[in-house]
Amino acid sequence: MEKFIKKGQIIVGLDFDNSKSAFEITKLLNPDNFKVKVGSQLFTACGPKILEDLKKQGFDIFLDLKYHDTPNTVEKAVLEACKKEVWMLNIHLSGGQKMIESAVKAKNSVSSEILLIGVTVLTSLDQKDLSDVGVSKNLEDQIFSLFSLGKKGGIDGIVCSPNDLAYFKKEEMNSFITVCPGIRVKAESGGQKRTSTIHDAIHLGADYLVVAREITSSPNPLKVINEIDSYFI
């Protein structure tokens, strides 16, 4: 069997509305192999305590709240998130240059080791969706325009579809992190329109992959986790 995943490269999305369900999954995970993602649903339901509890379990945490507000508000929010010693957090790059720079400033004031990554266009959106909200650029141009804004502002990486990895990986970005959400163990689309499998995304050059629904909605999550485990180098 081909082994192609590095330890720590898979981030499990804890997409639940309560800590009990989240911990039912984390007890099946080895923190040496997996990181975890806390999104808006779980964070809103449980508050910052969920971050403390997951850290006690030994996990690196990706805080996926996609901050998007005025520069001052985002700066303060990022500062508080970084004080919680998260491993990674994100912002919407459509918030503009000043907001991006404020977020980077706040992050670096706590620790330059924390990773701040940018969201360009959500992987649930396609060209029609962009048109519906008044974006006249085509999907690819909008993604790369926002990416350039984020890179100029000093972010550490980008959230992107596996379909866009070829572009990002040839842009002289050896230290620039790519995080791909909506990744499947086996090919299917779910709720996101620009997705891929673990195997394909890794071979396209993704640094980190977020796997959620296929684990959290499975009647046998341990079976899925064991399958992923079998691919670790």
In this structure, are residues 230 and 29 in contact, taking their beta carbons and an 8 Å threshold?
A: no
Give residue 95's pLDDT: 96
Over its length of 233 residues, how does the chain's per-residue pLDDT go in tens digits? 578 899 999 999 999 999 999 999 999 999 999 999 999 999 999 999 999 999 999 999 999 999 999 999 999 999 999 999 999 999 999 999 999 999 999 999 999 999 999 999 887 888 999 999 999 999 889 999 999 999 999 999 999 888 888 877 765 566 789 999 989 987 655 555 546 899 999 999 999 999 999 999 999 999 999 999 999 98
Would you state the torsion angle of the CA atoms of residues 12, 15, 18, 20, taken in this order, to the nearest 10 degrees? -30
Q: What b-and-e string marks burial along 138-169, b requiring 16 or more CB atoms within 10 Å of the CB?
A: ebeebbbebbebbbebebbbbbbbbbbbeebb
Domains delineated in the chain? 10-229 (3.20.20.70)
Give residue 123's pLDDT: 77
User: What is the token pair recorded at 102?
Assistant: 């404020």
Alpha-carbon distances of 33 from 135, 163, 233, rounded to whole Å: 39, 25, 10
The Cα 117–Cα 93 span in angstroms is 9
Give residue 188's pLDDT: 59
User: What is the token pair recorded at 74?
Assistant: 């985002």
Alpha-carbon distances of 122 from 38, 55, 194, 225, rounded to whole Å: 17, 28, 9, 26
Find the catalytic residue in 55, 66, 76, 193: 66
Give residue 62's pLDDT: 98
Give 95's DSSP letter: G
Give residue 1's pLDDT: 56
Give residue 87's pLDDT: 98
* Residue 210 CB partners (closer than 8 Å, separation 6+): 11, 12, 13, 37, 62, 179, 180, 181, 182, 183
The H-assigned helical ranges of the chain are 19-26, 40-46, 49-56, 71-83, 97-110, 127-132, 139-153, 165-168, 198-204, 213-216, 221-229
Global model pTM greater than 0.85: yes
Which residues face 63 on adjacent strands?
Answer: 38, 89
Is 193 among the residues known to form the active site?
no
In this structure, are residues 75 and 95 in contact, taking their beta carbons and an 8 Å threshold?
A: no
Give residue 122's pLDDT: 87
